[in-house]
Amino acid sequence: MKFIPENVWKYLSVKLPVLGAFLLGVLPVLIQEGINTQLIPTEYHALLLSVVLPALAYIGRKIAQPQLHNQSLGFAAITAGHSNTDPGAVNGKIKEADLVVNFRNAVTHYLREAGLQVKTDGTGTKNDPLSAAVKLIKGSSVAVEFHMNAAASKQANGIETIALPRDKKLAQDLSKAVADALGSRLRGDNGWIDQSKSARGRLAYVNAGGLIVELGFISNEDELARFNARYWLAAKAVAKVLINYEKGA
CA 23, chain centre distance (Å): 40
Domains of the chain: 8-68 (no CATH), 75-247 (3.40.630.40)
Residue 12: per-residue pLDDT: 64
Instruction: Give the ranges where 48-167 is alpha helix by DSSP (H).
Output: 53-62, 96-113, 130-137
Residue 119 has pLDDT above 70, yes or no: yes
Q: Quick one: which of 216, 229, 247 has its CA closest to 146?
A: 216
Q: Compute the average pLDDT of residues 48-72.
A: 59
Contact (Cβ atoms closer than 8 angstroms) between residue 177 and residue 241: yes
Residue 53: per-residue pLDDT: 57
Q: What digits encode the pLDDT tens for the residues 135-190? A: 999 999 999 999 999 999 999 999 999 999 999 999 999 999 999 999 999 999 99
120 confidence band (pLDDT: 50, 70, 90): very high
Q: Quick one: which of 57, 41, 47, 48 has its CA closest to 27?
A: 48
> Parallel, antiparallel, or unpaired for β 211-217 and 160-163?
antiparallel
Q: What digits encode the pLDDT tens for the residues 201-229? A: 689 999 999 999 999 999 999 999 999 99
Q: What digits encode the pLDDT tens for the residues 63-75? A: 755 554 444 445 8
Residue 16: per-residue pLDDT: 62
Q: What are phi and psi of 229, to 5 degrees?
A: -80, -25
DSSP assignment, residue 186? B
Residue 248: per-residue pLDDT: 84
Contact (Cβ atoms closer than 8 angstroms) between residue 82 and residue 103: no
Q: Quick one: which of 201, 186, 224 has its CA closest to 99?
A: 224
Sign of the four-CA dihedral 166, 172, 175, 181? negative
Residue 55 has pLDDT above 60, yes or no: yes
Residue 31 has pLDDT above 70, yes or no: no
